[in-house]
Structure 1
């Protein structure tokens, strides 16, 4: 698969600004976006093994980076784990890599996928769209930054419910309109 990294990054940034930040699905995302502290890495991996190598490298980069320069990383991998169930199964490998590198409590990994589906939902339920990204993506997050962000929010446990309410109000038609050419970034 020939990948155009610039397009993949641009698509990911559009998703971040229009959905994640624009709909306030993650109240922590705007600050790191505005400060340019998000590292975007496109993996050319076409096997889970190659993706694991890229993940380990990215975990090490984030671990070693100055948080003022790189606070979080999005590892986008459009050529592998395009099937959501395969992607979901790979998350056990992700957790094992974090543990193997002794990064538990330092870095956690969140998951996003074009076909993301929460347990107990139907594939097209709008609730799933809070974790739907243009390409399979692993989001590497510094635990210390997450703790600071959570401390600044009055009721962080309500984020999930607020996201569901936002998405249900928006509906499928509203979600589609976010991606229309010329749609304004809300960030």
Structure 2
């Protein structure tokens, strides 16, 4: 039986991933500013069922919607004890989008997805391009639409991010990715 990860360790692993991969490899050119300004809310869900996670998600969507962007621009809802299977996680994303619509936050907030076993449709599991969305733990990334629009407007080649990420990851390779996280 695996041990439940400690909240501080989950956040530390997520921060390391954010700093070394997402920011370090410039996989998301918008992440550095909110990280430096400490506008990222890290929440570790204790949920062990999809229903409990959905309740946590609704609560965090409401918190983000009500908070000032200067205080909380984005939230990482990390859920290490539920939806470890990527296909189950992927199915849950429909429920997550449904919650966004039910709260009438569609078009105001959006949900991006990260998972340790993330796999884009039509790719092999070990395709290095999948690593652009691989996080240490299953994670729902809650973002403000306004912030995304501002970031895209400030980044002239935003449409090329995905292709650039694939190129970066292909150069790095799986071994290089793993090396990023060695102490």
Is this a same-fold pair by TM over 0.5? Answer: yes
Query: 1-side partners of 2:80 and 2:94: how far apart?
Result: 19
Whether contact under 8 Å (2:114, 2:140) holds in the other structure is yes
**How big is the shift at 1:173?**
1.2
Unaligned stretches of 5+ residues in structure 1? 182-187
Query: Do residues 69 (structure 1) and 71 (structure 2) align?
Result: yes
Normalized against structure 1, the TM-score is what? 0.96
Runs of 4+ residues deviating >2 angstroms: none
What does residue 185 of structure 1 align with?
A: none
Whether contact under 8 Å (1:3, 1:44) holds in the other structure is no
Q: How big is the alpha-carbon RMSD for the aligned residues of Structure 1 and Structure 2?
A: 0.6
Q: Find the residue that maps to 1:164 and give its secondary structure.
A: helix
Unaligned stretches of 5+ residues in structure 2? none
Q: Find the residue that maps to 1:57 and give its secondary structure.
A: helix
Query: 1-side partners of 2:31 and 2:5: how far apart?
Result: 26
Q: Which digits, 9 at most, give the CA deviation of each residue in 1:164-184, with x for residues without a partner?
A: 000000001111110111xxx
What aligned pairs does 1:18-37 form with structure 2 within 5 A after superposition?
Answer: 18-37=20-39
- Report how many aligned residue pairs link the two structures: 181
Q: Find the residue that maps to 2:106 and give its secondary structure.
A: coil
Whether contact under 8 Å (1:113, 1:133) holds in the other structure is yes
Whether contact under 8 Å (2:114, 2:139) holds in the other structure is yes
